[in-house]
């Protein structure tokens, strides 16, 4: 019995000197992250934002703890103009308004910009639709643009 313990213990001994020589040391990868650009595409202009004058913010009108961030006066003017009260609708509006104020949506055939306010309000209205209405709209939408649709879209610019 003593012989089996000693033979097992001698068999289980590690060979540390051999392992250090054969296994190479792993080097950690260095991640090179590109610094994000802080510059904006275009400075916001009132004709691209769709709101001419900012309004003094009334914090009782917006949800508690909600921060408007950049362009706060213009965002609040848009919230009042669109008659928004729901916190999710206000959040959608603010995010889209700020994005399209800095990065405007350009329609190439008409050669004009769509205002950030109009785009944000249209997305809030789409958010209000029920899933059934969204499905019905997507199924009834034609695959190609007709002449009537082109005429109606050019009149908005």
pLDDT digits (tens, 9 = 90+) for 93-140: 999 999 888 888 888 888 888 889 999 999 999 999 999 998 998 899
Provide the H-helix boundaries in the chain.
2-11, 16-22, 46-49, 72-82, 87-102, 116-128, 131-140, 147-154
**Rounded-to-integer distance, Cα 102 and Cα 67, Å:** 18
**Rounded-to-integer distance, Cα 154 and Cα 124, Å:** 23
Question: Looking at residues 69-95, what average pLDDT do you find?
Answer: 91
**Rounded-to-integer distance, Cα 101 and Cα 94, Å:** 10
pLDDT at 20: 54
pLDDT at 104: 84
Of 71, 41, 37, 77, nearest to 56 by C-alpha is 77
pLDDT single digits (tens) 44-54: 777 788 888 88
**Rounded-to-integer distance, Cα 105 and Cα 98, Å:** 12
Q: How confident is the model at residue 154 (pLDDT cuts 50, 70, 90)?
A: very low
Residue 54 Cα to chain centre, angstroms: 24
Question: Looking at residues 49-74, what average pLDDT do you find?
Answer: 87
Sign of the four-CA dihedral 61, 91, 114, 154? negative
pLDDT at 44: 74
**Rounded-to-integer distance, Cα 89 and Cα 94, Å:** 9
Question: Looking at residues 143-157, what average pLDDT do you find?
Answer: 52
Tell me the pTM. 0.61
Per-residue buried b or exposed e for 111-140, using 16+ beta carbons within 10 Å of the residue's own CB: eebbbbbbbbbebbeeeeeeeeeeeeeeee
Note whether 115 and 50 are within 8 A (CB). yes
């Amino acid at each position: 019995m003593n012989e089996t313990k000693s033979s097992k213990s001698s068999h289980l001994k590690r060979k540390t000197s051999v392992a250090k020589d054969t296994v190479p040391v792993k080097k950690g990868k260095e991640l090179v992250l590109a610094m994000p650009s802080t510059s904006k595409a275009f400075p916001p202009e009132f004709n691209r934002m769709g709101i001419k004058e900012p309004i003094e913010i009334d914090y009782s009108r917006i949800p508690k703890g909600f921060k408007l961030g950049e362009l706060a006066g213009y965002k609040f003017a848009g919230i009042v103009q669109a008659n928004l009260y729901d916190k999710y609708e206000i959040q959608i509006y603010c995010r889209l308004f700020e994005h399209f104020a800095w990065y405007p949506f350009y329609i190439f055939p008409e050669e004009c910009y769509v205002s950030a306010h109009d785009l944000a309000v249209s997305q809030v209205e789409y958010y209000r639709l029920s899933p059934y209405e969204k499905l019905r709209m997507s199924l009834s939408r034609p695959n190609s643009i007709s002449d009537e649709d082109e005429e109606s879209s050019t009149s908005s610019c």
